[in-house]
Structure 1
């Protein structure tokens, strides 16, 4: 036991001797072959794209490399200042005083009615009234408002005409940094009100080189030529703090200041990039590695992914700033095979590179203090696989093969936990604790230690309880242990999935059939008390207390085998795999990946070598060093946003804002797509859907899509981008347009043609109707004359026959002459009444016939037999020309012999939609003279009234006439 009381051996390394942590950085050539090019300014536009102003012109970085912005009319200019206004117009000031404008891919020179400056434009800004301000190196300030360019110089009260920078305030005031201090300018209604702040007022240096935004309310950063920088209170118009007063400033002129998460990154003229920690008031003069240490940094900018960009001589430098840094070595020591890390509550980092234990007290970004501990002699170093700090401040150390140790950090004393056999001899895979509980996992199950106040003494034994799969754990091989906020203890096992210990009972979700994966690696709890589980090859799972939800490749994860997980300050899940780090935002279903493109070159992360520090930083141990991840909500939730950069019609750019409708022969379109994703622009893929043409989304890696010979119709192009093939939550860019049909196929042409043809047909029809009516009128008049003539033929014919009958009757029976004359008079009265009518009812015609037959029966007696068989309803509904039946009866009487021996039988009836009149034929020995007027008259009259012919036939001694029914 004496060996257990030995002090840890340690080696202390002073802070100044250590190699710093560095962000990942890379160089991007602006123009490969132009070695004399100088980058002077860099800005980020509203779509997240970077614009670079250089000595060789203006460049836009919207693809895999920056591209120069120029046309045949616009020559290359030496750009010295850049700005984007509220309307999205890019303003580029040149060394010769000219100003370039780029709006919606239209490039033009700024040409106000007044003359432009002749000296270099040093800064451009827009104030709250949307007035444009231009600073110059020798001609003071220019203000463009209401289509006029106003000039402000020393004569107006400006501190100096050499203006290096300007900064607009919210109350329409402008701060100008000149070679003679600060000038506060108010320009209203042509009046200039200027106040000056110089070294007399406390400014450390009159030459103000830059003024930039501070995250502190009512503050701005002011950089000077030789005295460093300060915080200036723009509300009180006074110095808040000279940030470099205590440390001194030996880095020369400041060109730009960029504040990110309380770290101010400073671009200098001769000493590259410097960082200043506001909380600790310390300066890091080596932000970038020696291989990326340019002297002159003209400008700084952040992108939407959290990277910092520097305009450095003939290139751009991109680095991850404070959100992702790498620590590969201290002086003479390579940090390899870091199997476990622990960020404790005192801000110390414990880690175990190459079988040794190190304690790191962080002093600053480039200065750290290391202490190395040897549990065993150097020749017998063992692999440390687990670290935990208990409530007494003692460090628990788990090893492979040498069991478990507990160390008093104040005294440096330690002892091996010998009271528990599986702790003494075991291979410790994980240590977790909370309050008085400490759990360890081994290859032979788990053990729970219960601390008491007596255990503040290192050598006091600790009560323990061991558990194995026989107790319901499911497996004795436990990779990770987690104690959640509800004091439940979770276990990630090999072979039995995930299990939980609650109320002294084990529940195994895998054996219960509720969890699909048998091998689980790591556990974490988020702020919603959801449990996250990583697996060997099934991805990531979330348990919300009821169900397990799986996250995989479709959600944007880059690998399903996840070795370590943690939850950051923004409730994002950090998942470490062999390809790098995935940061999952489960609410937005967005994954940010940091792989080789972010400096994660084959790191070989170790199982559960991850720890979250009190300040929110995530420390990750790998075989090739330590990674520090400091996430921000904006960077994590960022995803590439697709932009339709321009639309070409037959390879000619068009104004997409003003032009939406195209002719039928303007149908050959190409669209250039872009998305700002500078971490790995080559990974960007686009999905597009041209509604009206495609039926669904199409995926492409091309940045130009073509649609030749589109048919007439309405179209909507939708585009979205992704770097992970997960497009579900990607924002959509859209362009709606239409192609007109050929005018002879349009609805209005069809309508017009229809109307014209209809009008023409109508005119033709009306002319035809008019002609027909005219013809009909003529025919009618002709018919009426003929019909009247026919009717007029009836009266004489009837009178002639009637008087013959009367003459014969008077000769035979003079006494009945008076009666006969009376009936004749009645008959003629009806005849007169009906003679003006074209048609009468059959009933009226039969009344006429009855009167006529009365006369004839007086003459012939029973020798004349007439039978009428027509029902009453038919008599009233049927129409007939007047005297037709009388004429047929009269003809029958006239042309046949009538005697008692040979009577005349006349029948009138209906058959087959006809009125039939028939009589037997009793031919006379001598035929009477006849003009044939009767039957001819009937035929002609019916011909004018119907198309159905009157038929007559003689058959078997019967004469039949069939009249059409009208």
Structure 2
């Protein structure tokens, strides 16, 4: 009895629920999915605090472990080095900015630093007015190019870039410490006025950079309502609006800067979220939505239109969740994706380009996912959705309000209290036609009343599988060779045969299709396709072939070209041409994640969507690309099938057990954003060069002819292909094949241009150039080759001319040899005669006799030198040349004899450069010239004869004062002429003879 009462109460409760209808009326939260960047090039990106994109396109990422420059693939890391004063100030970074010169500024625990890209060095500011800065958590570059930063307890500072000086502006001049307490994300520049807004625990304050004055709640001459003593923890600018995190009032204040009035206060709707709404960071995206994080580790997405708070989950079990409990900073990519700085790396999402929205109906109706969940769909005129489930009745869902109503079918049983599966749903006006396994119903969407349609006798005992509304006819198909058409105006059934010769007792209709011409097609087993023929009053089989995949067909649709698309669990996507009656397995199956599929549907752009469970593949219209992705739902279950339904707005709705997923094909076909391909580093065998926009072009020396270049597009949501070439070396573009590095080895010297472009699908999204000069080895330079060729030709010409000259000279020498020998013999004879003539012997013997009487010792020396002279003449009489040093030694003996003879009447000086001592001269040349000088000039003590022997410019000069005798007894006038003739054969340079009024000079070439 008690059990019966309990069962009765249960059914009554169920009936009340059914009559009440709504299961939930709460607003549907926005579904936000995140991707993550946590590691690149082996470098962990963790504890991220801030972002700054520089003018070159790189993203600078500040962390608790140093500064990183990120290009989308590669990371260049900057860290503090103990013994390097030009390295990072320390590794704890709070804020970043870029000045007008492209320098990167960073705020640290103990000051600020500026990174100069040209030098690759940091310069630091740690003290101002001989006081330590302390913790600096905000830094901004204003429109004038000056850099402003805050110290947590000292106040506001300005670095003037023109003068290179730092100015300090305490909030309370009477308090040397500044009397402030600023937090990160607490300094923003006013977009209209020259000034900055500061967040501080004693209230928001404004600093006028022209008047150099603060406006606060204590000093508020204009009585603006925004200045209150409330604790302000964070600020953000949104166009002409200022967003203020008011900790005291637990809200975010939206303040109009132009009209100086508060527009609204945004507060969490959930009481739990309002408990301590202490905001740590606010970021505003381009659509004015807010991304907010609080100090008690809660993060929210706030919709700009509704101010609705969506909590951002960070559960480890959800791979597409935020992944961290706090957001420190944010940046929005040009493609509209939002990048969030978290303690667990970069989390990124793109609400503007979201490919789908997920509706979690199971959260509203927990029993919905039982068995297969949602299996049919039809759209109402008001935009709401009617849904059929496998065992949980008929559902009505309003996406705009997240309202769900559930209605039990009349054919419910004790086992299935909500009714049997709703296999087919069609709408005609305000009425729904509902097809189930063994029943068909009409449902009034206004009164919510069911009316069962009595089936014809032939249909009452068969399993009904497919339902189709065609104008005023409602078609029902199932097991057997009959089709049933319900005429809605007359409420009568008509039975049509399926004209098949098959005797298979398993004959059935699996799918039905209305093609673009309005013809009705059936997918039948075991034959193929049948088409309705009104003239034959039945369905005519058009294809009787039995392919192996036919037993696994799960869905049937028509593509824009009129071909039928069939999702099969055996061969994936299969295509059938009803005109040629040929089928084919789509080649794109090889590019899909799974080889099987349970649903396929084309969209309005010609793309084909293929589903199997939560795994999807999209074949683009050009059929050259397959996009594969997996939905973050139903990961742990396979007890359901995927369904795809077209929507009036061109979207595609997928039923996924307890979820609905609305796909947006227009976002799939968005034109790829044109982006710059960033050149990150030039890798050489022994070093690495970081590339910046101002460091181009690149100059490499001869040894640096092997190198690699890193490149990438800064994007997390779009996959790019890269093509590159080195102009001057590569003839065509090279495919990077998934790599982001181009390597070259042993490149010859010259000027090159490295070009790299990014491609998405078939669209080029950007190209970058890098001029490269490689020094050419000397032996490969053009001038060297020209000089070498000229030298070779010159040598050949010289050799030819030399041979001609040598032949001519040889002939000339043969002619002149006799004359030379004669002249030489004559000169030698003349020299001997000169020294053996009676006058020389007489004079020498007279001098010797005088010395013997007066100076016996000197007489011996005189006699020895006289013998040396004659010995030298006899030893060299057959030599053409002797060294100048030997000739001078010989001449000195002769000079000594003549000095002894003439005394002070003869003054001879010798000044010979030592570099000429090894040169050669004809034997007794100096002696001949001296003898000739003494012979032709007057010598006496009162008017001595001065002779100077010296060298200059490869010539031996003998010059004397001119004191000519009137008559010379032994002169034959041939001495100098013979000397000239002899040297004419030995040298191209002539013997110089110069006579002036006071001097006589003879210059003999040194050989």
TM norm. shorter chain > 0.5: yes
- The answer to whether the aligner puts 1:41 opposite 2:64 as a matched pair is no
Cα deviations by residue, 1:554-602 (Å, 9 ceiling, x for unpaired): 9965456443355779886544235723355537966543227x56737
Residue 379 of structure 1, CA deviation = 0.4
Aligned pair in 2 of structure 1 residues 166, 636: CA closer, same or farther (>3 Å)? Answer: farther
Partner of 1:873: none
Partner of 2:24: 15
Partner of 1:165: 186
Moved more, 108-117 or 580-589: 108-117
- The answer to whether the aligner puts 1:178 opposite 2:212 as a matched pair is no
- The answer to whether the aligner puts 1:622 opposite 2:638 as a matched pair is no
The 2-side partners of 1:448 and 1:734 are apart by 69
Partner of 2:137: 122
The 2-side partners of 1:467 and 1:60 are apart by 72
Cα deviations by residue, 1:346-402 (Å, 9 ceiling, x for unpaired): 45444455522353645889x754535345225047663645352423333333x32
TM norm structure 1: 0.60
The 1-side partners of 2:116 and 2:482 are apart by 67
Are 2:235 and 2:242, in contact at CA under 8 Å, matched by a contact in 1? yes
Partner of 1:140: 156
Partner of 2:96: 82
Are 1:444 and 1:476, in contact at CA under 8 Å, matched by a contact in 2? yes
Cα deviations by residue, 1:280-300 (Å, 9 ceiling, x for unpaired): 443334655596786543334
In the TM superposition, what are the counterparts of 1:267-286 in structure 2 within 5 Å?
267-270=293-296, 272-285=298-311
SS in structure 2 of the partner of residue 665 of structure 1:
helix
Partner of 1:647: 682
Partner of 1:297: 327
Of the three residues 79, 95, 103, the one matched with 1:70 is: 79
Of the three residues 744, 749, 754, the one matched with 2:789 is: 754
Partner of 1:405: 441
**Whose RCO is larger (CA < 8 A, sep 6+)?**
1
In the TM superposition, what are the counterparts of 1:259-658 in structure 2 within 5 Å?
259=285, 264-270=290-296, 272-285=298-311, 287=313, 296-301=326-331, 309-313=339-343, 323-325=356-358, 327=360, 329-330=362-363, 332-333=366-367, 335=369, 337-342=372-377, 344-345=379-380, 346-352=382-388, 355-357=391-393, 359=395, 361=397, 369=404, 371=406, 373-374=408-409, 375-380=411-416, 384=421, 386-399=423-436, 401-419=437-455, 442=478, 461=491, 468=498, 477=509, 479=511, 481=513, 533=565, 535-536=567-568, 537=571, 539=573, 553=588, 557-559=592-594, 561-565=596-600, 574-578=609-613, 580-583=615-618, 586=621, 592-595=627-630, 601=635, 609-611=643-645, 618-623=652-657, 625-629=659-663, 633=667, 643-656=678-691, 657-658=695-696
SS in structure 2 of the partner of residue 384 of structure 1:
coil
Are 1:282 and 1:364, in contact at CA under 8 Å, matched by a contact in 2? no
Partner of 1:229: 252
The 1-side partners of 2:773 and 2:532 are apart by 64
Residue 668 of structure 1, CA deviation = 3.1
Partner of 1:792: none
In the TM superposition, what are the counterparts of 1:496-895 in structure 2 within 5 Å?
533=565, 535-536=567-568, 537=571, 539=573, 553=588, 557-559=592-594, 561-565=596-600, 574-578=609-613, 580-583=615-618, 586=621, 592-595=627-630, 601=635, 609-611=643-645, 618-623=652-657, 625-629=659-663, 633=667, 643-656=678-691, 657-672=695-710, 674=712, 692=729, 697=734, 706-710=743-747, 735=770, 737=772, 739-763=774-798, 765=800
Are 2:358 and 2:659, in contact at CA under 8 Å, matched by a contact in 1? no
Aligned pair in 2 of structure 1 residues 368, 140: CA closer, same or farther (>3 Å)? Answer: farther
SS in structure 2 of the partner of residue 621 of structure 1:
strand
Partner of 1:57: 66
- The answer to whether the aligner puts 1:253 opposite 2:253 as a matched pair is no
Residue 463 of structure 1, CA deviation = 6.7
Are 1:159 and 1:183, in contact at CA under 8 Å, matched by a contact in 2? no
Aligned pair in 2 of structure 1 residues 21, 136: CA closer, same or farther (>3 Å)? Answer: same
Partner of 2:113: 99
SS in structure 2 of the partner of residue 753 of structure 1:
helix
Cα deviations by residue, 1:167-225 (Å, 9 ceiling, x for unpaired): 457668565243366667775xx6669888999644497554444465xx755644433
RMSD, aligned CA: 6.2
Residue 267 of structure 1, CA deviation = 1.9
Are 1:542 and 1:548, in contact at CA under 8 Å, matched by a contact in 2? yes
Are 2:324 and 2:343, in contact at CA under 8 Å, matched by a contact in 1? yes
Residue 750 of structure 1, CA deviation = 0.7
Aligned pair in 2 of structure 1 residues 717, 356: CA closer, same or farther (>3 Å)? Answer: farther
The 2-side partners of 1:128 and 1:548 are apart by 66
Partner of 2:842: none
Residue 774 of structure 1, CA deviation = 9.7
The 2-side partners of 1:105 and 1:599 are apart by 51
Cα deviations by residue, 1:935-963 (Å, 9 ceiling, x for unpaired): xxxxxxxxxxxxxxxxxxxxxxxxxxxxx
The 2-side partners of 1:300 and 1:155 are apart by 28
Residue 279 of structure 1, CA deviation = 3.8
Aligned pair in 2 of structure 1 residues 286, 703: CA closer, same or farther (>3 Å)? Answer: closer
SS in structure 2 of the partner of residue 340 of structure 1:
strand
The 2-side partners of 1:168 and 1:548 are apart by 65
Partner of 1:897: none
Residue 649 of structure 1, CA deviation = 0.8
Residue 461 of structure 1, CA deviation = 2.0
Moved more, 475-484 or 222-231: 475-484
Structure 2, unaligned stretches of length 5 or more? 1-14, 502-506, 815-1007
Residue 751 of structure 1, CA deviation = 1.2
Are 1:580 and 1:603, in contact at CA under 8 Å, matched by a contact in 2? no
